[in-house]
Amino acid sequence: MKRSPAVAGQFYYGSASKLTHQVEQYIDRNAKKEKVTGIVSPHAGLIYSGHVAGAVYSSIDFPETFVLIGPNHTGLGSSISLMTSGEWEIPTGIFQIDEKISYKIVMNVSFVSKDIQAHMFEHSLEVQLPFIAFFSRNIKIVPVIILSASLEECRILGEGIAKAIKSVNYPVVIVASSDMSHYVPDGLARQKDGKAIDRILSLEPEGLYELVLMERISMCGYLPVVTMIFAAKFLGAKSARLVKYATSAEVSGDYENVVGYAGIVLR
């Protein structure tokens, strides 16, 4: 099955030429590339968060496959939905799903559902693809969407993903798609997001999970990020680096209702 783009023309330009030009303005061609295990990248409209996502993708060595983990904004599908086969299309490319890894994840984690419905209108993974396509159109993907999960389920899922990655003999990077605080004043967003970022940089998945709930941080993709940290640590990640942080106010000029964006690499 081919998944057609759901938010082309909304979150990013709908034509190939315009999208390539749009992404290009967010790419840092002078960035030093490093080998990473996982990244955190935002998923808002490119006009707002593209410069953060572009900074992250500019700074990494590209693998053969990206495992993409994002939050479920639509409520469709099961708690944890994995599309195990087929293609994803955007104006600048078509991505094959890495069936070798996707089926191993399903085998490793009993509560992961082979589900297409959850992915049809969800934007959090799709918005990563224009940046990936800019650097390579031969990349394969493994799309995972999380609607709900306990801390223990995040750990089991993370380790199941890591074991699937360990079973192949080619490089794989895990992408956790998340925006940070939503629709709060700029100062509060920076304060709360700073605490969450500190947990990520310290590679503390449990601490991040508890902090988001305790402080009521409106970080939509905290479950994907928690899962990614568990997986990255299982794969040997020892450190993390904040590539860039910003809020929507820098574009919109509205400092009363902002969304935060963080770009982070784990290595």
Percent of the chain with pLDDT over 70: 100
CA distance 100 to 196: 33
SS3 37: coil
pLDDT at 50: 98
pLDDT at 251: 96
pLDDT 10s digits, 4-23: 999 999 999 999 999 999 99
pLDDT at 1: 92
SS3 12: strand
Q: Average of pLDDT values for 183-211? A: 98
Domain spans of the chain, in order of start: 2-266
Categorize the per-residue pLDDT at 119 as very low, low, confident or very high, splitting at 50, 70 and 90: very high
CA distance 238 to 223: 20
- CATH class, domain 2-266, is alpha beta
SS3 202: coil
262 within 8 A of 256, measured Cβ to Cβ: no
pLDDT at 19: 98
Q: Average of pLDDT values for 246-257? A: 98
Q: Average of pLDDT values for 76-91? A: 98
Categorize the per-residue pLDDT at 33 as very low, low, confident or very high, splitting at 50, 70 and 90: very high
